[in-house]
Structure 1
Amino acid sequence: MATFCQCIESLQQQNINDTFSIDILVVENNQTHHQDVVEAIASYQHAPFTIHHQLETTAGIPFARNNALRFGQQQGFDYLAFVDDDAIAEPNWIQTLFAALQNNQVQVTTGPQFPIYPDNTATLYTAAKVYHERKLTDGAELSWAATNNVLLDLHFFAQNQLAFNNQLIFGGEDKALFQQVGRHGGKILWVQNAIISEFISPERLNVKWALKRRFRIGVTELQIESCINPPAKSYARCIFKGSAYLAKGAVMLLPDALLPNRSILNSLGDLVHGCGFFYGFFSNVKSYT
């Protein structure tokens, strides 16, 4: 609960100007409201922004995120931002995303999520790409975004009947959704200064977790591709990308193992990521990592 409270506190401390106002929405994916969550939200209700608390009883990330989409549209909000509950937002985060969306007349703005590691975390993990965001140029137009740091135009999504795919309960539902934005004439813009920071829990700092996550990402790729492409193209793209990851992992294995400030988790991760593409042709993962 500590990181959840820090997340809410960072949202209550957002700097906004007189061009917009914000409310905060917490979607709890549970059968009943958890008392700790209820009490935590109540303790922050005195702060500047109203907090809404929604319960989504169907288990799975896409169901919770669709709950947020529906709530925003039904309550008449114009925009919806997503952030994870184990992350904190910089004070100018939402204002920066909103200004970029308005000034560039795009439908989605997204930015980086930087890791916050426990003290004395080994280079094996701090140099591993699995814990880091993509490195992109400010103002770049993207083909997809992630829900760890994103602002979207609710009217555009309602107009085009865009929602998270409830079948992608083990990940990739955000990439699958945002890949459809461009197909409907929308644009996604990278905003480097709209910063979110995520706490990396000690439980995630192990080789098994890192490799399982990379494998899961590979496995779900065929489902993501199938959301926007015909079967033949989806399989062809996955074969190409899976082979590329396998080749890259094999080539970089020795340098990652021997050179300083490198992590062998990157090359091992590429290898299992590549294997995941091909595993996904025949089966799916059974849990989210």
Structure 2
Amino acid sequence: MTDKKLRIGLGVITHRRPDGLLRLLDSFGQMKVPENVECTVLLAENDDAPVMETHLDKLRAAIPFEVHFSVEERRGIPFARNRVLDMALEADVDFLTFADDDQVVDHYWLVMLLATMQLRELDLVGGPNYFQRDPEAALSWQSNLVFEHYERAMRQLSSRRASRIQIDSEAEIPIYTNNWMLRISKQRELKTRFDETYRISGGSDTKFYLDFSTAGAVTGWAADARTFEVWPESRLKFRYLFRRSRDQRATNLLRAQDAPTLPWALLSFLSSSFSALGLLLRSPFNDFRSLTSAISRVGGAVGRIRAARGIRSQLYRPSK
């Protein structure tokens, strides 16, 4: 008699990115599936005017797995994540993964996530997300600088997180849905869900990790389970780098209830601006690499001021 197969739901939320979604599904189709595992794609379109259903035949043809499709008309990332979570519960899968519709997964991504989950008896596991150039885009000087900034930052972050495994502090690593696997039986027990008050600010996945671990779940890190985010040139701009740094800092401080007082935030802004000026003046001597660090530093300082004033990020506000 054969052992019962483990069932894994490959969760994806999407919003008006049919090409990116097809690229992600194609990487699902090419990845190695662990032995004795059966995969199902759980796809939720987040749109009040859904269009993805017309692409379903093409999407299903791209992969060897069954595709379950649903529409979440309430605009906001946590609504769509909870819709996928409900699909996983209804389908009675053993594990649920998440990856974004602007990513591709490594050939051994699923193998590494599952092996880490089982070997260390985890309830939630994440892995590193690296950046990848759009092969069809010829990047400008500005876009190349911003891309290299994010690439350096992610390599450094991934290295620090991998080292936490060696000192037995991997539970402190936040788990994001760009590379994520959940043990469904533990979620059924704890009933943790994505906080829908984070509709436009972002950060509902970090809040899920914090709520889940605080409730008693065991979390960890799979350093070799890699995803790759393909960034369009529209995001590789100084303005976007500033806004992202600003909004991420504000969201993190407000979520942790660690917002500074306004006078302290203003002092921090002056200090960061002085530091950023030094980086700016050095930039001609290091191929302008420190220019992007200066922009990011000022953005983070402005984020502290916004947190002190209680201003939430609107980075994911639905467009008019």
Shorter chain as denominator, the TM-score bin is 0.7 to 0.9
Match for 2:241 among 194, 210, 217?
A: 210
1:264 aligned residue: 291
State the TM-score, normalized to the length of structure 1: 0.85
Q: Where does the alignment leave 5 or more consecutive residues of structure 1 unmatched?
A: 227-233
Go from structure 1 to structure 2 and tell me whether the alpha carbon gap of 1:249 and 1:127 turns closer, same or farther (over 3 Å shift): farther
113-122 or 50-59, which moves further after superposition?
Answer: 113-122
What is the distance in 1 between the residues matched to 2:40 and 2:75?
25
Cα distance in 1 between the residues matched to 2:269 and 2:215: 30
User: Which segment drifts farther, 275-284 or 65-74?
Assistant: 275-284
Aligned partner of 1:137 in structure 2 is 162
Task: Give, in whole Å, the separation in 2 of the partners of 1:18 and 1:190.
Answer: 21
- Cα distance, 1:238 vs structure 2: 11
**How far apart are residue 221 of structure 1 and its match?**
2.1
Alpha-carbon displacement from aligned partner over 1:91-137 (angstroms, at most 9, x marks no partner): 21111101110011111111111111244554521332388533221
The answer to whether structure 1 residue 254 and structure 2 residue 278 are counterparts is yes
Alignment of 1:145-164 (within 5 A): 145-164=175-194
Structure 2: tracts of 5 or more residues without a match = 1-17
1:2 maps onto 2:28 in alignment: no
Contact 1:10 1:88 in 2 (8 A): yes
Q: How many residues align?
A: 280
Distance (whole Å) between structure 2 residues aligned to residue 166 and residue 129 of structure 1:
28
Residues 37-52 of structure 1: pairs in structure 2 closer than 5 A = 37-46=52-61, 47-52=63-68
C-alpha RMSD of matched pairs (Å)? 2.8
1:285 corresponds in structure 2 to: 313
SS of the residue corresponding to residue 208 of structure 1 reads helix
CA distance 1:216–1:236, shift in 2 (3 Å)? closer
Q: CA deviation at 1:250?
A: 4.1
Listed one character per residue, the Cα deviations across residues 232-261 of structure 1 (whole Å, up to 9, x for unaligned) are: xx3469999998797566436524642425
Is 1:69 aligned with 2:85?
Answer: yes
Q: Is the 8 A contact 1:137 1:190 kept in 2?
A: yes
Equivalent runs, 1:1-289 vs 2, <5 Å: 1-34=18-51, 37-46=52-61, 47-117=63-133, 118-120=137-139, 122=141, 123-129=144-150, 132-133=153-154, 134-135=157-158, 136-137=161-162, 140=165, 141-143=170-172, 144-169=174-199, 170-226=201-257, 234-235=258-259, 247=271, 250-251=274-275, 253-255=277-279, 257-258=282-283, 259-260=285-286, 262-282=289-309, 283-288=311-316
* Higher share in helix: 2
Q: Percent identity?
A: 19
Deviates more, 1:58-67 or 1:47-56: 47-56
TM-superposition CA deviations, 1:139-196 (whole Å, max 9, x none): 7214311111111112212211211110111211111111223312223222121111
Q: Matches of 1:24 and 1:216 in 2, distance apart?
A: 31
User: Which has the larger Rg?
Assistant: 2
Q: Supply the AA of the counterpart residue of 2:32.
A: N
CA distance in 2, matches of 1:119, 1:155: 46
Aligned to 1:229: none
Q: Write the distance in 2 (CA, Å) between the matches of 1:93 and 1:119.
A: 28
**1:248–1:138 CA distance, 2 compared to 1 (3 A):** same
Q: Which amino acid aligns with 1:137?
A: A
CA contact (8 A) 1:124 1:263 kept: no
Q: For residues 238 and 21 of structure 1, what CA distance do their matches in structure 2 show?
A: 53
* SS, match of residue 42 in structure 2: strand
SS at match of 2:44: strand
